[in-house]
Amino acid sequence: MNLDLRQVAEGVYATSRAAMMVEVADVIVFDMDGVLIDVHHSYPVVISKAVDHFLNERGFRGDDTAVTPEETTYFKAAGGFNSDWALAEGICLIYMVKAELAESQNVDGLRNLAPDLAAVARAAAQYGGGLDGLETALSHLIEPQQLTRVKALWDRDRITRIAQEFYAGDQAHAVFGVSNDTISGDGLMLSERPLVDRETLAVGPFRYGLYTGRNRGEVQTALDMAGLHGIFPEEALVTETLGIKKPNPKGLFHIQRVLSPKLLIYAGDNLDDWQTAARYEAERALDEPPCLFCGVLGGSPGPLSYGLFQERGVDLMAHNVKALLHWVAERKRRLTTA
């Protein structure tokens, strides 16, 4: 826990170290979801609907939903689930394992069968998070041959396809290059709202990069919606389409080599973003620019964000991008006028 972290401006928390370092920051790299774009009514709902649909295809029945959008925060807090498709896959696996153990496909009963989703997410976190951590946690509940049988029916490609169709709807081909064979109509991506505008990003003498788990089509859709064309140089856009995924710091190394900053700040809303910046710091050469991580509060881990980031010892936290940029810009102005 970082005991040196304190409030330095409205909506901004920083250590003394960060307050000094940001005076030379000239490149800000953003995650997209929960930072630039409000996705509370898109991806968490997509996960919930995709899980229900897949389980229904596999013969599960019940009146209750398997996972609520709010319950997805348990897994975001566990880390390793930057991909919402992977999270949908993981929750399907939980129910399939429970069904094997209970010899029942009644979703209502399986929801109440211990361990509940929060407990499974905590166990997954103890084993490193993500699908690997989740599978390890589940392997302690079920015999190996049973888990093998369950995984043979666990069609991850199908789950991802369903999730993509719920997200993009009739625009699935434009966004993901797939046809919407199952879900038609408007996709849930249309419920997204921008958290920043061009005026916000023009507040200081910064250049910007983007490192996101979205693919290029998803990014383009979001930039169109938010009116942020031209803010990010094409060469400083790192998406899943490039084959680089968080928490691999390769995306940050790519952006710093393109933009050649004195110091960069990576603003993200979850533990995968924090780990990306931490690995960059651990791996960078002495002559490469440092990177500060800023935890943006209220994103995918929900109200757990503040505690999670403080426990990891972050140097910066902010309620939103606007607060972060105004504070950093003011710090830089003080340096130039001193």
Model confidence over 320-332: pLDDT tens digits?
Answer: 999 999 999 999 8
Taking alpha carbons only, the member of 130, 56, 42, 129 closest to residue 89 is 130
Query: Which tokens go with 30?
Result: 């953003």
> Of the candidates 279, 263, 272, which has an alpha carbon nearest to the alpha carbon of residue 295?
272
Proportion of the chain above pLDDT 70, given as a percent: 99
pLDDT bin (cut points 50, 70, 90) of residue 298 is: confident
Q: Whole-angstrom Cα distance, residue 296 to residue 46?
A: 22
Q: How far is CA 9 from CA 19, 119, 315, 316, 319, in A?
A: 11, 36, 14, 12, 11
* Chain Cα centroid distance, residue 99: 29
Q: What is the mean pLDDT of residues 190-195?
A: 96
Summarised one tens digit per residue, pLDDT across range 253-266 is 999 999 999 999 99
pLDDT digits (tens, 9 = 90+) for 90-137: 999 999 999 999 999 999 999 999 999 999 999 999 999 999 999 999
Does the pLDDT of residue 337 top 70, yes or no?
no
Whether 338 shows a pLDDT value over 60: the answer reads no
pTM of the full predicted structure?
0.93
Report whether pLDDT(15) > 70.
yes
User: By the 8 A CB rule, do 280 and 259 touch?
Assistant: no
- Taking domain 6-39+193-337, whether its CATH number is 3.40.50.300 is answered by no
Average pLDDT over residues 268-295: 96
* pLDDT tens profile 195-213: 999 999 998 889 999 999 9
24-80: pLDDT as tens digits:
999 999 999 999 999 999 999 999 999 999 999 999 999 999 999 999 999 999 999
Asked if 116 contacts 125 with a C-beta cutoff of 8 angstroms, the reply is no
The separation between CA 328 and the C-alpha centre of its own chain, rounded to angstroms, equals 24
Is the distance from CB of 282 to CB of 290 less than 8 angstroms?
Answer: no
- What is residue 238's predicted lDDT score, i.e. its pLDDT? 97
Residues in contact with 113: Cβ distance below 8 Å, sequence separation at least 6, in sequence order: 98, 101, 102
What percentage of the chain carries pLDDT values higher than 90?
91
Tell me the domain boundaries of the chain.
6-39+193-337, 43-189
Q: How confident is the model at residue 240, as a pLDDT? A: 93
For residue 300, the model assigns a pLDDT of 84
Mean pLDDT of the chain: 95
